[in-house]
Amino acid sequence: MTTERSNEAWIADLRSEGARRDNAIQALLVWLRRRLFYYLQERSDLRDLGEEELQQMAADFAQDSVLIILQKLDQFEGRSKFTTWAAKIAVHQALGELRRARWRDVSLDALTADGQPDFSFLAADEATPEESTVRQAVVDTVLDVLEHELSDRQRSALYSRLVLGTPIELLAEQLDTNPNALYKLMHDARKRLKNRLRERGISPEEVLATFA
């Protein structure tokens, strides 16, 4: 069972070769699938999904997470159980994928209204009227800054990368540039966006809270 391994055994087994490593990876997958399934079950936005679909999502997320965990073994400091550390990485990975899927599932037509992105679908069902009002005010300000303070190229880069999750290499190709130039373009766009929002009394923390 996964709980029978010590932290040291997990690290040693996952760094080994052959059947020993394969067994450790399989055990980790079983643990992560179970932990992710419980996490997905608790999410209010996934309540309409059946158990079979949630199990499949958990399995897919677990597969992706194992690859990340194997790359980060050197970062494990032993301050908690290895399985707890691994589960945090897996949940974080799943959360990122769910957020990206949430954006991708909205059609481009639904995202645009009068030539501007429409983020009204972000409103959470659990939000109070007061929370919804504050969220909409932040969204309106962000959209206004995006529309009037950034160039078309900066706006396209930020939207494609941060909203749609387009890989850097693909985005650079789409914009007919190279990754280094794209990084600078996005750095300048983020800096301008952040400064303009601060000038309007909105902090980056408020923006993150709105889109969380």
Coil, strand or helix: which one is 169? Answer: helix
Specify whether 100 is located in the same domain as 118: no
Distance between start and end Cα atoms, the chain: 35
pLDDT over 70, % of the chain: 76
Coil, strand or helix: which one is 116? Answer: strand
> If you search the block for the tokens 């750095």, which residue do you land on?
187
Residue numbers of the domain that contains 100: 2-104
Q: Which of 104, 134, 166 is the last residue of a domain?
A: 104
Average pLDDT over residues 79-95: 92
- Distance CA(180)–CA(168), nearest Å, equals 10
For residue 173, the model assigns a pLDDT of 85
Q: Which residues, 6 or more positions from 185, have their beta carbon under 8 angstroms from its beta carbon?
A: 153, 154, 157, 175, 177
Average pLDDT over residues 198-203: 79
What band does 107 get if pLDDT is binned at 50, 70 and 90? very low
Specify whether 23 is located in the same domain as 56: yes
Instruction: Look at the pTM and tell me if it is higher than 0.85.
Output: no
Average pLDDT, the chain: 79
pLDDT over 90, % of the chain: 33
